[in-house]
């Protein structure tokens, strides 16, 4: 298929089967929505939600059927990400997407049969919770500066160090972990599967956040943790490249899901604006809001087409879509700030309460320019892509 797919209509991309799948995901997401505030207050959500998502096949969409996956393509992941926004709870969505699209794709791609049976298959079934452990207290953007070490000792690695910001970190059963096995810099990093029942592993503080509150974000510690060296993913000292490959899917799902979140926020704002009256008319009838809304709709449509273009390119050439994925993450991240600000403003005082989903969307949405690579890092990558 050529790049002309970008001008195709959505109903040419998504089949009747996608639509049925969408309905299933939406029903699941809407069943979680009433709990959003309660789970935000608790700073966690019930573990059973992982199992519920797994039972719908959401953790193995693209993965090898031999390990329980569905072997489908990225358009199915796009449909999943778009419908998941109906939880109105980005914390839950992020936790689920770490399991489905951030900690596990690299295992499906590079893991040995044993690693896939021990970690991927139970993650797909929802019997194990997965986390991705890359960022450290010393820095998240500078992945090449990872300091957590893994020293080879016979058939094992001995791991020492600390990770920070780890989503699902308080209850993960395993972590797709970036460690230093070699010299300083990007050439000395290795990726491996780390089982958290390992002696010497501990969870520190659960971080208090301003958004995505339902998901646990933890600091974790490794003290002389011994794991089999055969739990390696890919090649020793090639971890930096594997991490960068893995980031592509993480950034793409953030962009696609982000666009769907904006579409929902605008729709909700319009509905609110039709109900709420000021100076004798619905506030949506004020020209200032009509203009802002259509301007945002135009930008959201552009963001969607850019994201879909990136999906299409990623399907055709997984190693050749960095430019488009990075552009999509950058564009959607920055657009999110403007759209959610205006949608919240349209709600007036109610936008500043927890009465409507817009306040949660606004605080949750702040993360997209930070997590999975900041806006500034997206620009740095694009500078390289464009040879500037």
Extract long-range pairs of 240-243: CB within 8 Å, 24+ residues apart: 240/143, 240/144, 240/186, 240/187, 240/189, 242/106, 242/110, 242/191, 243/106, 243/134, 243/143, 243/178, 243/189, 243/191
Helix, strand, coil percentages for the chain (3-state, nearest 5): 60, 15, 25
Nearer to ligand FAD, 21 or 119 (CB): 119
Minimal distance, residue 375 CB to ligand FAD, in Å = 6
With contacts defined by CB under 6 A, name the span among 40-48, 75-83, 130-138, 340-348 that binds ligand FAD: 130-138
Could you identify the residue written with the tokens 């709870």?
Answer: 89
CA-closest candidate to residue 28, choices 93, 84, 100: 84
Contacts of 169 (CB under 8 A, 6+ apart): 131, 133, 163, 203, 206, 216, 217, 218, 219, 220
Nearer to ligand FAD, 141 or 354 (CB): 141
Minimal distance, residue 150 CB to ligand FAD, in Å = 16
Q: What DSSP element (H or E) covers 18? A: helix 16-32
**Per CB under 6 A, does 284 bind ligand FAD?**
no
Q: How many CA atoms lie within 13 A of 87 on its CB side?
A: 31
**Per CB under 6 A, does 218 bind ligand FAD?**
no
Cβ count near 267 (within 10 Å): 13
Catalytic residue among 82, 83, 219, 250: 250
Taking CB under 6 A as the criterion, the residue among 209, 213, 242, 296 binding ligand FAD is 209
Residues 324-363 that bind ligand FAD (CB under 6 A): none
Minimal distance, residue 261 CB to ligand FAD, in Å = 16
Largest interatomic CA distance in the chain: 78
Nearer to ligand FAD, 148 or 308 (CB): 148
Taking CB under 6 A as the criterion, the residue among 53, 128, 339, 377 binding ligand FAD is 377
With contacts defined by CB under 6 A, name the span among 126-134, 230-238, 339-347, 350-358 that binds ligand FAD: 126-134
Residues 131-190 that bind ligand FAD (CB under 6 A): 131-135, 139-141, 165-167
Minimal distance, residue 55 CB to ligand FAD, in Å = 24
Nearer to ligand FAD, 111 or 133 (CB): 133
CA-closest candidate to residue 222, choices 167, 180, 168: 180
Minimal distance, residue 284 CB to ligand FAD, in Å = 33
In our burial notation (b when 16+ CB lie closer than 10 A, e otherwise), range 42-72 reads ebbbeeebbeebbeebbbbbbbbeebbbbeb
Question: How far is 380 from 181, CA to CA, in rounded Å?
Answer: 26
DSSP state of 98: I
Minimal distance, residue 380 CB to ligand FAD, in Å = 5
Nearer to ligand FAD, 69 or 133 (CB): 133
Q: Is 376 a catalytic residue?
A: no
DSSP state of 210: S
Binding mask 357-376 for ligand FAD (x = CB under 6 A): ----------x--xxxxx-x
Minimal distance, residue 203 CB to ligand FAD, in Å = 13
Question: How far is 49 from 324, CA to CA, in rounded Å?
Answer: 33
Question: How far is 204 from 219, CA to CA, in rounded Å?
Answer: 5
Nearer to ligand FAD, 312 or 364 (CB): 364
Nearer to ligand FAD, 191 or 270 (CB): 191
Nearer to ligand FAD, 60 or 372 (CB): 372
Minimal distance, residue 6 CB to ligand FAD, in Å = 29
Residue 265 token pair:
């926020």
Q: How many residues bind ligand FAD (CB under 6 A)?
A: 24
By beta carbon distance, the residue nearest ligand FAD is 140
Residues 93-122 that bind ligand FAD (CB under 6 A): 98
Name the residues annotated as catalytic.
250
Q: Which residues bind ligand FAD (CB under 6 A)?
A: 98, 131-135, 139-141, 165-167, 209, 212, 217, 367, 370-374, 376-377, 380
């Amino acid at each position: 298929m050529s790049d002309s797919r970008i001008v195709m209509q959505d109903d040419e991309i998504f089949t009747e089967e996608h639509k049925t799948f969408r309905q299933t995901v939406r029903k699941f997401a809407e069943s979680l929505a009433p709990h959003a505030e309660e789970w935000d207050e608790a700073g966690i959500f019930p573990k059973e939600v992982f199992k519920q998502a797994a039972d719908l096949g959401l953790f193995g969409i693209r993965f090898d059927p031999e390990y329980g996956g569905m072997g489908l393509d990225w358009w199915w992941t796009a449909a999943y990400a778009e419908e998941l926004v109906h939880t109105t709870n980005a914390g839950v969505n992020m936790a689920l997407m770490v399991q489905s699209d951030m900690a596990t794709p690299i295992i499906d791609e590079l893991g040995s049969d044993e690693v896939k049976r021990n970690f991927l298959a139970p993650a797909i079934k929802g019997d194990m919770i997965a986390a991705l452990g890359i960022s450290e207290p010393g820095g998240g953007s500078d992945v090449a500066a990872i300091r957590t070490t893994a020293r080879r000792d016979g058939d094992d690695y001995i791991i020492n160090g600390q990770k920070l910001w780890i989503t699902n970190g308080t209850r993960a059963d395993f972590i797709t972990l970036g460690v230093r096995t070699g010299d300083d810099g990007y050439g000395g990093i290795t990726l491996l599967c780390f089982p958290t029942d390992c002696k010497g592993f501990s969870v520190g503080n659960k971080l208090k956040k301003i958004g995505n509150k339902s998901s646990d974000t933890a600091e974790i510690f490794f003290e002389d943790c011994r794991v089999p060296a055969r739990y390696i993913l890919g090649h020793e000292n090639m971890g930096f490249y594997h991490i960068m490959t893995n980031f592509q899917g993480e950034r793409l799902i953030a962009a696609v899901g982000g666009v769907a979140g904006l579409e929902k926020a605008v729709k909700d704002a319009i509905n609110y604006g039709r109900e709420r009256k000021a100076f004798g008319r619905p506030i949506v009838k004020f020209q200032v809001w009509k203009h802002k809304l259509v301007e945002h709709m135009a930008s959201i449509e552009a963001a969607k087409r850019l994201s879909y273009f990136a999906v299409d390119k990623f399907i055709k050439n997984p190693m050749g879509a960095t430019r488009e994925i990075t552009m999509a993450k950058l564009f959607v991240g920055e657009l999110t700030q403007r759209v959610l600000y205006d949608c919240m403003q349209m709600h007036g005082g109610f936008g500043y309460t927890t009465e409507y989903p817009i306040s949660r969307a606004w605080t949750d949405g702040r993360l997209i320019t930070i997590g999975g690579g900041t806006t500034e890092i997206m620009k740095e990558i694009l500078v390289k892509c464009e040879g500037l």
